[in-house]
Amino acid sequence: MQTFFILFTVLFPIFIIYLTEHYSIFNKIGAVVLAYLVGIIIGNLGILPENIASIQELINTITVPLALPLLLFSMNVRAWSKMLGKVMLSFSLALVSLLTMVIVGFFLFSEQLQDAWKIGGMLVGVYTGGTPNLASIKAALQVDHEVYIMTHAYDTLISAIYILFLITVGQRFFLLFLPAFQSNKENKEQTDALENESYRSLIQKENFLPLAKAFGFAVLALAIGGGASMLVSESASTAVAILLITTLGIVFSLIPSVNKIKYTFHLGMYFILVFSLNVASMADISKFVNISADLFYYISFVVMGSFLMHSFLSKLAKIDADTFMITSTAMINSPAFVPLIADAIKNKEVIVSGLTIGIIGYAIGNYIGVGLAYILQAF
């Protein structure tokens, strides 16, 4: 069954690509949305074996680090640097929104939740960086294992719902009150060219050797990032690996012979589709039957409240909808979902900015989370 699951996860995205390129209705839905929906269905049919989790984690561990450099190889990183000021402003507003909602939620739920101050600290960590920060703060604050497991489970469910909202109607919703993204002319020409290229070109004979070369560079980035992650603590390993792999992807993109290889973005997006299908299959709804209502309400309040406050502040600061979405994604869902959202909103220009925000979140999440937890403990 494990072998069948691996084959299905690797091959079904190819069928999704075929559907989106041959049928307009599937093209309108989008390959990422289709992969996500199929993954959720597969994960909740009750057909996956109990020991499949290790295989799912392995697929996640491989696909995203391979996809990131491939997505970056064909991009104009120099032009993207002009957007960082606006992105950092959006990140600052998102962080203020998150801290505000964690604090307000603490006072709303502290009487119902034991050790609410520890939970607040973990939520800051997971929504500035990701699961590695959640695990690190759990260890630092000596959080009860059951509380940690439930927090992680509810975070997974709520984040899955949020990402599904973003990749379906999110952009149209935010454009109702946020300005549209103003594209850099040079980047616009490049991304338009990417949109007009077909995935079918991946299997054309003349593209095989150049793409094999690009894949080799991606594997090299993965090997270096993975190797470096083994030299640091387990809690910091993911952040170090993503930081190095992203950096190497940017460095390799500055090499003309790599930057000019066609269809590397499409190859990277194939791995993102594999990741999307796989990660969605991990959202087992049956695990949330025995729900701890107050903990679920606290986490939901933080996610929904911070997203609403962030969107309100973004309107005041005139942050565009795409920048808002990519910043929110990098924080609430982690950098791994940045390419997924960029593809869903058809804006590849925001990928590097989103990854940068995600890496900063990884770096500061532990400090802010632990610090705020001890402040809340005083109350």
Structure confidence by residue, pLDDT tens digits, 237-262: 776 787 788 788 888 988 888 888 88
- What proportion of the chain, given as a percentage, has pLDDT over 90? 26
Provide the domain limits for residue 62.
2-377
Assess contact for 331 and 357: CB atoms under 8 A.
yes
Is the pLDDT at 151 greater than 70, yes or no?
yes
Q: How many CA atoms, within 13 angstroms, populate the side-chain half-sphere of residue 2? A: 10
DSSP label of 202: G
The b-or-e profile of 184-211 (16+ CB within 10 A means b, else e) is beebeebbeebeeeebeebeeeebeebb
Mean pLDDT value of segment 105-127: 91
pLDDT in tens, 261-320: 888 888 888 888 888 888 888 876 666 555 678 999 999 999 999 999 999 999 999 999
**pLDDT band, very low/low/confident/very high, at 196 (cuts 50, 70, 90):** very low
Find where tokens 């041959």 sit.
22
- Check residue 53 and give its pLDDT: 84
Is the pLDDT at 344 greater than 50, yes or no?
yes
- What is the C-alpha to C-alpha distance for residues 339 and 337, in angstroms, rounded to an integer? 6
Torsion of CA 223, 228, 234, 240, to 10 degrees: -90
Say what the pTM is: 0.70
Query: Which is more confident, 377 or 206?
Result: 377
CA 320 from chain centre, in angstroms, equals 19
Distances in Å between the Cα of 141 and the Cα atoms of 122, 132, 147 are 9, 14, 12
**pLDDT band, very low/low/confident/very high, at 348 (cuts 50, 70, 90):** confident
Number of domains in the chain: 1
- Check residue 197 and give its pLDDT: 55
Which ranges of the chain does DSSP label H, i.e. alpha helix? 2-22, 24-29, 31-43, 53-73, 77-80, 84-109, 116-126, 131-141, 145-165, 171-174, 185-196, 205-229, 234-253, 256-259, 264-280, 293-317, 321-332, 338-344, 351-377
**Residue at 88: amino acid letter:** M
DSSP label of 287: G
Query: Which is more confident, 135 or 304?
Result: 304
- Check residue 85 and give its pLDDT: 81
**pLDDT band, very low/low/confident/very high, at 84 (cuts 50, 70, 90):** confident
- Expressed in angstroms, the distance from the first to the final Cα of the chain is 51
The two tokens of residue 232 are 């640091």
Assess contact for 271 and 222: CB atoms under 8 A.
no
**Four-residue CA torsion sign, 253, 254, 256, 257:** negative
pLDDT in tens, 136-145: 788 788 888 7
Of 348, 317, 349, 351, the closest CA to residue 337 belongs to 351
